[in-house]
Structure 1
Amino acid sequence: MKAEAWLFTGVAGFFAVTAGIYGWFAREPVGKAALVVAFLMASLVASFCWAQHVKLGRRPADDGSAEIAAGAGPLAFFAPASAYPLLTAAGAAVLALGVVYGTWLALIGFGVLAPGVAGFVFQYARREG
């Protein structure tokens, strides 16, 4: 993950510099906000990649002389069938419709979306390994 971490750190740095220059010369707030949000999103991905690099160390893909067989074996844990994706999608759809049709529908959508997201996050919280 080291190459990806450096890539997104560079992207975050680009958006930081661009936001600074744009903020100095521009008189409108929307572009400034968009560049700051782009910087924050790139920083989030970069920090995740750095944390994974520190946690997992070098991958075979990071070594130019590694054999293909070095990457064999289980990669990670992948969840079996779950109802939480369907619940989350339904909640997001109802929430989006609520933005159009009214607050009451948005609240229902949020009420359906929140358990779906919580289920995604905590479904395997007690799993070890």
Structure 2
Amino acid sequence: MKIQGKMFVWLSVFVLVMAIVYGVWSKEPAGTTALFLAFGLCIMIGFYLGFTARRVDAGAQDNKEADVADDAGELGFFSPHSWQPLALGIGGALAFLGVAVGWWLLYFSLPMVLIGLWGWVFEYYRGENRTQ
């Protein structure tokens, strides 16, 4: 993780320089603001990865003599069959469409977002997936 953290920190330095150059040359506020926000996101991710790398064991990506097979194995648990992201995505799309079309659409999208979020969070606490 150390190398990913360093990559994001260097990327944030590049984006900051580009944001300053773009802001001075173009005097366009929307693009300049977007670049400064991208800088903030890159620096947050870089510091998070650097902070996390100090707390966990070194991975194969941190070893210069490592092979691809050294990083093989289980990566985590991923839900094989879940409809909740679809409901959440449709509700989120309707919510953002409500900003463009009309705020009244949020009355229909908010329940869909809440149902999708609730179902996704508590998916493994009910039915056949319930743990005892």
The TM-score, its normalising length taken from structure 2, stands at 0.71
- Alpha-carbon deviations, 1:12-50, whole Å to 9, x = none? 112223334444565332232111111122123323322
- Which 5+ residue runs of structure 2 have no aligned equivalent? 126-132
- Which 5+ residue runs of structure 1 have no aligned equivalent? none
8 Å CA contact retained: 1:98, 1:107:
no
1:105 Cα deviation after fit? 0.6
Of the structure 1 ranges 48-57 and 31-40, higher mean CA displacement relative to structure 2 is found in: 48-57
Aligned twin of 2:5: 5
Runs of 4+ in 1 over 6 A off after TM superposition: none
Question: Where do residues 86-105 of structure 1 align in structure 2 (5 Å cutoff)?
Answer: 86-105=86-105
8 Å CA contact retained: 1:19, 1:32:
yes
Aligned twin of 2:109: 109
1:64 Cα deviation after fit? 2.1
In 2: Cα distance, 1:72 partner to 1:28 partner: 47
1:99 Cα deviation after fit? 2.7
Percent identity over the alignment? 30
Aligned twin of 1:40: 40
Aligned twin of 2:65: 65
Q: CA RMSD in A?
A: 2.9
8 Å CA contact retained: 1:2, 1:53:
yes
1:9 Cα deviation after fit? 0.6
In 2: Cα distance, 1:115 partner to 1:43 partner: 33
